Structure 1
Amino acid sequence: MDDLRPAPDRVVALGAVALKAGWWASGPVRRLGWAVLTAAVPEDMARRALRDVAAAVAATVLEMVDVTALVRDHVDLDALVAGVDVAAVVARVDVSGLVAAMDLPALVRQSSATVTGEAVRGVRTAGVSADDTVTRVVERVLRRRGERLA
């Protein structure tokens, strides 16, 4: 796919040829004089045309060039990121919008259910342990030595 794209030097050469051909073709107009040319083409119209041509050339060049690779190879991204004001970026974050987008009541219910379940398991485990401790104390007080009742 990249073999079908013309190299940037070919694009520049093609542009030079087009410029030269345009210059050659405009010889008769140039010979008529600058006053006739400026009277025939108003300045704002010429500027708009030049802007349109420049935008088309820039778009064509950007389509042919891998800008990501150019940036990766030639831009110091660490220096670029170091210049970013993180506090300003964070200040632009819409926290109320983020909170509104979250289902906060469901999140609270889910986390409360988890905590409650763990607390219930802890209480049950402590109850079993306390029951065993009470059973041992009663057996010692009653001086029982045999099989324990389940």
Structure 2
Amino acid sequence: MSKINLLVALFLITLLSSCGFHTPIKNSALNAVVVSDKSNVFANELRKRFNPEAAKNLTIHIGTEAKKQQAASYTSNDTISSYTLSLSVPVKVLNAEQKILLSQDLSASMYLNKLGASSSRSQADRLQIQQAYAQLQNKVIKKLIRRLSKLNED
């Protein structure tokens, strides 16, 4: 019985390692000086992703994030039934010599169904929208980290 368990475990380990699966790790070689307004939530979340012990060889200027909410579909009563949410953040990355490596607006969008029309559902809709913007923010941060990792390799 234990031989079967061992074989199954070895098979799963081999399968997971061959498909590129790896445990999430903190980007140990990446750190930067983040410049933004003091109240910029995006910049505060970005700072958490860096290794404070690594050398700061990049400077990142974060602009004010732009949130956009558009009605995507309506019901037969002409009430909104779904939204398209988008988030855009202007980012400028400079190297140690203050040469611009990246200057771009990074963005992400999401489709979101409205929960309902009652007052309790209205509050649930607001919470759902706040959570969706947090997810969009996380997507944009991941995009930026991937680009910074590529810049750091060069």
Band of TM-score, shorter chain: under 0.3
The structure that is strand-richer by fraction is 2
Structure 2 length-normalised TM: 0.23
Query: Highest relative contact order (Cα 8 Å, sep 6+), 1 or 2?
Result: 1
Structure 1 length-normalised TM: 0.23
The structure that is helix-richer by fraction is 1
